Amino acid sequence: MSQSKDTLRHLLAGGCAGTVGAIVTCPLEVIKTRLQSSGLALQPVYYSQVQLGTLSGGVVRPASSVSPSALQVLKSILEKEGPKSLFRGLGPNLVGVAPSRAIYFAAYSKAKEKFNAVFVPNSNLVHMCSAGCAAFVTNTMMNPIWMVKTRMQLERRVRGSKQKNALQCARYVYQTEGMRGFYRGLTASYAGISETIICFVIYEGLKKNLEEMQLSRTSGGEKSTASFLGLMLAAAFSKGCASCIAYPHEVIRTRLREEGSKYQTFCQTARLVAREEGYAAFYRGLLAQLFRQIPNTAIVLSTYELIIYLLRDKA
C-alpha cells in the first residue's frame, strides 16, 4: 500500500473512532468542565460559606472541604437547565473531534515511522516522541474549536431560555477578544502533552504484550474478540494512569478559557488557584474525567485498531 493510502487509512480510522467516543461521553465532559471552573464557587447550592479571619476584617471564602460531587452537578444541571444542557458543546465537539483524532493518529503514525529510523524501533523513546509530536500538532490546530466548546459548556442558562450556538459563540469570542481569544488555554494544552505521552507509552507496552500473547495462542495471528477486549482494557488502564498524573493542567486550561476571568497565564493561574482554593482544587472533576476519559479512550483506541485491521485486511 502506498504511503498516501496508508495515511488516509489512519485519518479515516482516527476520525470515526473519535466521533463515536465524543457522542457517548459528552454529558460527562460537561459535568467535568463545570467542576473545573471557578464559577462553581459562586453557586450557593454547592458551597457553604466559612468565615475566616474575623478579627482582621472578616474575609469570607468557599469552604474547600464542601466541594460538590459529579452527581450534585448533574442534578443541578437537570433541575435548572434541562437534559439538553448535558450535550452543550457537542456541535463543535463533533466538528472538531473527527479531524482532531484524524490529525492525531495520522501524525502519530508518520512520526513513529520517522523516529523508528532514528531510535531503536518501537522503543519507549519512539512512542514518547511520536505521541508528543502528534499532540503538539493537534493542539495547535484544534485549540480554537476546543475553546468554543469549553465556553459553550460553561454557559449556564435558565430552563427554556435560548443559548448561543457554536457560530454565535465563536463570533462573540472574536468580537470581544480577537483572534488571540481562540488560543486561550493553549499553553495548558501543551503542558497536557505529558498526559498523552504517558498514556501512549503505557498503551504501546501493553499492546505489545497482548500481541505476543495472541501470537503464541494462534498460529495465524488473526484478531479475536478477546484481543480487542484486551486492547480496550489496555487503553482504559493507560488513560486512567495518565489522567491521574497530569490532571491539574485540565483545571488550569478551563480557568484560562473562562470569559472575562482573572486568569491570564499558565503559571499565574496555577499560583492563583493554589493560593485561593488550595491544591485540592487542581483535582476538581477528576472522578468525572475518569468516568468520561477511560471509556472514551477505550472506545476510541479499540475502534481505531479495529478499523485499521479491517482496512488492512481488505487492502
CB-count exposure of residue 167 (10 Å: 0-12, 13-18, 19+): exposed
Give residue limits of the domains in the chain: 3-314
Q: Are 127 and 201 in contact (CB under 8 A)?
A: yes
pLDDT in tens, 268-312: 999 999 999 999 999 988 888 888 777 777 777 777 777 777 777
Q: What is the pLDDT of residue 65?
A: 44
> By mean pLDDT, which of 84-98, 111-125, 196-210, 258-272 is the weakest?
84-98
CB 107 within 8 A of CB 134: yes
Q: How much is the average pLDDT of 161-172?
A: 84
Instruction: Tell me which amino acid residue 135 is.
Output: A
Contact 3, 302 (CB under 8 A): no
CA dihedral 276, 280, 282, 286 (to 10 degrees): -150
Which CATH code is given to the segment(s) 3-314? Answer: 1.50.40.10
Share of the chain above pLDDT 70, in %: 82
Convert the pLDDT of each residue in 37-80 to its tens digit.
876 644 444 433 443 343 444 444 444 445 677 788 888 888 88
pLDDT grade for 147, boundaries at 50, 70 and 90? very high
Q: Please report the pLDDT score of residue 67 as a whole number.
A: 64
Q: Is the pTM of this model over 0.85?
A: no
User: What pLDDT score was predicted for residue 296?
Assistant: 75
Residue 232 pLDDT level (bands cut at 50, 70, 90): confident
Which amino acid would we find at residue 157? R
Handedness of CA 84, 147, 232, 236 (dihedral sign): negative
More confident residue, 113 or 216: 113
pLDDT recorded at residue 4: 66
Q: How far is CA 5 from CA 2, 134, 156, 301, in A?
A: 5, 19, 45, 20
Q: How high is the pLDDT of residue 210?
A: 84
